[in-house]
Amino acid sequence: MSIVAIDVDAQRAFSPLCPQELPVAEGDLIVPELNAQAALADWRVLTRDAHSAQAVWVVDTPAQMLQALPYPNADLTWVRHAEVGSEGFLPLPGLPVPEDYDFLVYKGLDTHMHPYGACFHDMAGRISTGLLEWLQVRGADCVIVGGLATDYCVKDTVLQLCSHGQWQVLVNLAACRGIAAATTADATAQMQAAGAVLLPDAAAVAAWLQTKRPVLA
């Protein structure tokens, strides 16, 4: 049995450090909580958007975003973000370098794919990224999730984890930030309904692990 901490898309593209990409308010402030939750875990995972400037979903301005697309694995338009080799692709300052993580997931490398969850490359849940299998091999019984953004990639990752494993999923809310209040509230409701335990911060995660995890084991 083991505890795994997952840093979901904790990249500069989703923070005020890259204002021309997809900055999430206070997205750069989650690092201490991500590091604190990782200190509670046996293993640490980093997921990252890894996009191309030629992606079919790219638009020029924020005003053109969130328009529906006819592609099965790219549902909405977005401005360019998290392109491989760019500043936005990098992890947030204060996080480990990628090679110090135990497992890495890269999402959206193909120009016609823009998945949100970290468990599948496609939106139908058919092509695995390998994360679920890796968690099984590591004997994960608890998975702690934080990252960006609550209402998109964090939500979809949590829903996938809840649907495809026997582990308990814990969401560290202090290690997350959302894009909009309404969609973030909807995301938290969906995650709870799927069976995830939402906790206010890493200290609450630690307390939960001390009191609840032995019941799981």
Q: Which of 203, 195, 105, 139 is nearest to 4 (CA)?
A: 139
Angle at 32 (CA atoms; ends 26, 37), nearest 5 degrees: 120
Three-class DSSP category at 161: helix
CATH code for the domain in which residue 68 is found:
3.40.50.850
Mean pLDDT is lowest, of 33-37, 172-176, 210-214, for: 210-214
Count the domains in the chain: 1
Rounded average pLDDT over 37-43: 98
Q: How far is CA 24 from CA 40, 142, 197, in A?
A: 26, 27, 23
Residue 1: per-residue pLDDT? 87
Q: Which domain holds residue 154?
A: 2-216
Instruction: Summarize pLDDT for 88-126 with one digit per residue, the tens.
Output: 999 999 999 999 999 999 999 999 999 999 999 999 999
Residue 217 has pLDDT above 60, yes or no: no
d(CA 208, CA 206): 5
Using N-to-C axis directions, what is the helix angle for 181-193 and 155-163, rounded to 10°?
10
Q: How confident is the model at residue 58 (pLDDT cuts 50, 70, 90)?
A: very high
Residue 214: per-residue pLDDT? 65
Q: Are residues 127 and 121 in contact, defined by beta-carbon separation less than 8 angstroms?
A: yes
Residue 216 has pLDDT above 70, yes or no: no
β-strands 197-199, 58-59: how paired? Answer: unpaired
Instruction: Summarize pLDDT for 4-20 with one digit per residue, the tens.
Output: 999 999 999 999 999 99
Three-class DSSP category at 100: helix
Residue with token string 């080799």: 85
Identify any residues that bridge with 120 across adjacent strands, giving them in sequence order: 128
d(CA 211, CA 202): 14
